[in-house]
Amino acid sequence: MAIAPPLPEKRLLADATPLARGEDVFRYATDDAVFALDFDPRKVRLDLLEGWDREADAYADSAALAYVSGPMYERHVNNSGQEITVPLGDIKLGERVWRGRNRTAARQRAFVGIRHDGRVDFGYGELTPERAVRYDSFIGGLHSLYNDLESPPSEYRGAYSISVGQQIRYYLPRIRMVIGLRGDGRLEVLMSREGLTLEQTRALARERGLRAAYLPDHASKSRLIVPGVKDFSEADANWISGGATSFVHVPYLLRLSRRSVPLQGDLLASLTPRLGARNCGNPLQCGQTLGGQLLDRALAGFNRLMEEGIQPVARLIWAPLGPKDPQRLGVRAPLREPPITADPMALRELQNQGEDRSPVEAPLAPDLPPPLLLQEGQSLPQDPEAVTPEPGPGAQPGTSEVAPEPPGADQTPAPDSASGAPGTAAGALLKPPAPLLPPPRLPTPPLPAPQLTAPPPVAPQRAVAR
């Protein structure tokens, strides 16, 4: 505890710029430490932009508010022997569900859930049938920096406790992405400007006053794009990867856009009771709280000791490649990405290094499988590879899977799937309109082989007498 860094003080943040007319639906601000945005989850919806290397499409998407990193991903071979890319956790966006195939990893990580009234939960575990009904949006597969609202269960492991290589990454400076819950119930997403260890990232989130802070994908997979304002350039790719640009690929991005019909709810409704529940009401609870705080300080001191010992050696091995960026001379560069990755495109490049193969002939990296469509009255299946949902509890065998509405129920359709909480006067809810996503880019066709033809014969030249 004696060598632990001092507790961070909440600093004055830069004024955010509203990027939605008439109200603070979405705000974007930068300072010398981060790029940051915050938004009202009742008025902003989450979607998924699928496809590899679509940062240019995201920057040109004028209908979106922003694009940010999604959860970590991995390669997987399904039951048909087909290679696919899947998230390490579960994703639910409206009726569409993508489930991780590694169910142990999905259960051992954290999630951010947005309820049908706009309240936000920072919790732990996988997408269950109950949570599929409770949440309009569910982003799983995250790593918890801290959560002042809910203690992690014994099953939680996070993203840095499986192998020695992952544990070393805990202490290495990387570009970090953070999804956090502000004190007013709004969601904040930030990306660090320089390489930070996880302990430094935790301190940064504390300085910004976040009540809970989770990590999506990060390091060379860090993305924060504001269309028409902040893009993702080749210089950015070189910077965040430490010069190892072969690892800078992502199969999807989270897309933020304005809801057609805002959700109706109080953002502080679930925040305040959960904060009050942490106050100690008797000597035993106070002792447990104090013991937890002392343990946190001891762990912070141990992390600082490990950082000071590991970073000098790591910089000798994974020092950034290439010349120093003149615009980032005063910023600490992140280390180069070590060759421990689930990036299918990077792995394919490694496999093809010794082969005589042109770039246009290289196989494309696998994409996400089609989502499971989960409509009202249907239940989440147990099999993560199932393509059809299960009938809900109210469905009868041989009949429609959706339970009939009771007599007198409001049959007025709502234009947005989350215009109110289930069971309220919002009535029977239909699926939301399809999001206006940029069209997918078609793969580049192979270049035609050059036609080799013999040159025309040249007539012999006669010598001319002079």
Per-residue pLDDT at 29: 92
8 Å CB contact between 189 and 179: yes
Q: So what's the pLDDT on residue 411?
A: 40
| Alpha carbon of residue 407 to chain centroid | 43
User: 278-312 burial, b if ≥16 CB within 10 A, otherwise e?
Assistant: eeeeeeeeeeeeeeeeeeeeeebbebbebbeebbe
277 pLDDT more than 50: no
Q: Taking residues 290-313, what's their average pLDDT?
A: 55
Residues 408-423 have a mean pLDDT of: 40
How far, in Å, CA of 265 to CA of 419, rounded? 10
pLDDT at 181: 96
Amino acid at 424: T
Which range, 54-63, 267-276, 283-292, 373-382, is most confident? 54-63
Taking residues 282-297, report their average pLDDT.
54
pLDDT (0 to 100) of residue 401 = 40
- Residue 320's DSSP bridge partners are none
Model pLDDT for residues 342-372, shown as the tens digit of each residue? 555 555 565 565 555 444 444 456 688 899 9
C-alpha separations of 38 from 46, 186, 224 in Å: 13, 7, 12
Tokens representing 295 are 């343990």
Task: Quote the pLDDT of residue 360.
Answer: 43
Which of 99, 206, 218 has its CA nearest to residue 158?
Answer: 218
Query: Quick check: 280 pLDDT over 70?
Result: no
| Predicted local confidence at residue 391, as pLDDT | 85
* Dihedral (Cα; 164, 167, 173, 175), 10-degree rounding: 110
Q: Predicted confidence band at 392 (pLDDT cuts at 50, 70, 90)?
A: confident
Tell me the pLDDT tens digit for each residue of 181-216. 999 999 999 999 988 888 889 999 999 999 999 999
Mean pLDDT within 233-253: 81
Q: Distance (Å, rounded) from C-alpha 133 to C-alpha 116?
A: 9
Cα(82)–Cα(309) distance, rounded to whole angstroms?
A: 43
The residues pairing with 187 across neighbouring beta strands, listed in sequence order, are 39, 181
Residues ≥6 apart with Cβ < 8 Å to 296: none
Label the pairing between strands 34-39 and 26-30: antiparallel
Greater confidence (432 vs 266) lies with 266
The answer on pLDDT for 68 being more than 70 is yes
pTM: 0.71
Using pLDDT thresholds of 50, 70 and 90, give the confidence band for residue 132: very high
Closest CA to 127 of 88, 157, 74: 88
Q: What is the pLDDT of residues 140-162, one digit of tens each?
A: 999 999 999 999 999 998 876 65
In the predicted model, what is the mean pLDDT of residues 246-265?
A: 90
Average pLDDT of the residues in 162-186: 78
User: At 291, is the pLDDT very low, low, confident or very high (cuts 50, 70, 90)?
Assistant: low
Q: Write out the chain in H/E/C secondary structure.
A: CCCCCCCCCCCCCCCCEECCCCCCCEEEEECCCEEEEEECCCCEEEEEEECCCCHHHHHCCCCCCEEEECCCEEEEECCCCCEEEEECCCEEECCEEECCCCHHHHHCCEEEEEECCCCEEEEECCCCHHHHHHEEEEEEEEEEEEECCCCCCCCCCCCCCCCHHHHHHHHCCECCEEEEECCCCCEEEEEECCCECHHHHHHHHHHCCCCEEEECCCHHHCCEEECCCECCCHHHHHHHCCCCHHHCCCCEEEEEEECCCCCCCCCCCCHHHHHHCCCCCCHHHHHHHHHHHHHHHHHHHHHHHHHHHHHHHHHHHCCCCCCCCHHHCCCCCCCCCCCCCCCHHHHHHHHCCCCCCCHHHCCCCCCCCCCEECCCCEECCCCCCCCCCEECCCCCCCCCCCCCCCCCCCCCCCCCCCCCCCCCCCCCCCCCCCCCCCCCCCCCCCCCCCCCCCCCCCCCCCCCCC
Say yes or no to pLDDT of 385 above 70: yes
- Average pLDDT of the chain is 74
The fraction of the chain above a pLDDT of 90, given in percent, is: 37
Binned at pLDDT 50, 70 and 90, residue 246 comes out as: low
Residue of higher predicted confidence among 38 and 297: 38
**25, two tokens:** 């639906």
d(CA 336, CA 238): 10
Residue 401, Cβ density class (10 Å: 0-12 exposed, 13-18 middle, ≥19 buried): middle
